[in-house]
Chains A and B, each alone.
Chain A
Amino acid sequence: MMTKKARPLSPHLSIYKPQISSVLSIAHRVSGVVNFIGIAFMMWWIFYLAYYGQYFGETIVYQFFTSLFGKATIVLWTFSVFFHMCTGIRHLFWDCGFGFKVETMNKTGWLAVVMAVILTVAAWSIYLGQL
């Protein structure tokens, strides 16, 4: 009651200089939500296809994902999943007690970003090679 004064709270996100640690921490959360939206969409889309699969070509979803913007969305979504996987592996190492040194943390952070890009490019190269 008496203590409810408008005191400054610690995370002033807006005044911190963006660093690899903080940016990846936020991006891990954001990519997690993006991945959820993608997977949830995929599940409902499969449910739709199971019953109305013959009308697949007439749907707005089909029109969206065959457009350039839609294709870019899928590529960015796969990047989001690969990114979440790479930073997630980093989190699992932390849970096991490894990689807490600042230099190590910065290195593994960049490694996660680079690995996510490589995996995304690799997956889509294989895709394009198979068309």
Chain B
Amino acid sequence: MVNILRTIIRGDMDLRTPLAKVKGYGSAKSGTESHILQRISAVGMIFLWLWFVVITLKFIGASDVNRVYMVNNPFTLLGFILFGCTAIYHASFGLQMIIEDYIHCDVIKFVLVGLVKFFCFATVVAGVVGAFVIHITSF
């Protein structure tokens, strides 16, 4: 009774079920990109992570001179930047999915997703700048 009064006062009297309200609207026609991009970056991450493990083990086993040589190698820099960017890119989709699954308040959800995406972006920039500076200053 109170609910009916409230809907009448608010002027949005709609006694249909939530399902009936959304029926006929069709799909949002977007949203598959993030799914596909997450899969593509996942395949990339398999190879990049294995490369990262191998290069780290090589670095540990190398002499001091060879370590400097490895840091000087432009392909190490390229590989590390690809590894970091792909990892954070992949993670940004996963984190967004987790937030959207467990946070039901729209405002908090949008703010959190925004903050996480921005943190991901800042992290990638920090990693790329750091790796590049170490590469340049190692000559």
Contact of B6 with A by CB under 8 A: yes
Q: Identify the closest chain A residue to B62 (Cβ).
A: A130
- Asked if B123 and A32 sit within 8 Å, CB to CB, the answer is no
Looking at the assembled complex, report how far the CB atom of B119 sits from the nearest CB atom of chain A, in whole angstroms: 8
Residues of A within 8 A of B94 (CB): 29, 32-33, 36
Residue in B17, B45, B95, B98 whose beta carbon sits within 8 Å of that of A3 in the complex: B17
Counting chain A residues whose Cβ lies within 8 A of the other chain, the interface size class is 20 to 34
Q: Are A46 and B123 in contact (CB under 8 A)?
A: no
Given A33-B95, A39-B88, A88-B42: A47 touches B127 (CB 8 Å cut-off): yes
Contact indicator A51/B133 (Cβ below 8 Å): yes
A40 to B131, CA, bound (A): 13
Question: Quick check: is B3 within 8 A (CB to CB) of the other chain?
Answer: yes
Contact of A43 among B61, B126, B133 (CB under 8 A): B126
CB interface residues, A 33-81, toward B, < 8 Å: 33, 35-36, 39-40, 42-44, 46-51, 53, 78, 81
A27 in the interface (beta carbon within 8 A): no
Known contacts A46-B134, A48-B130, A85-B45; is-contact A127 B91 (Cβ 8 Å): no
A15 at interface, CB cutoff 8 A = no
Q: Which residues of B contact A92 (CB under 8 A)?
A: 39, 42-43
Q: Which residues of A contact B9 (CB under 8 A)?
A: none
Kindly list chain A residues whose C-beta atoms are within 8 Å of the C-beta of B60: 127, 130-131
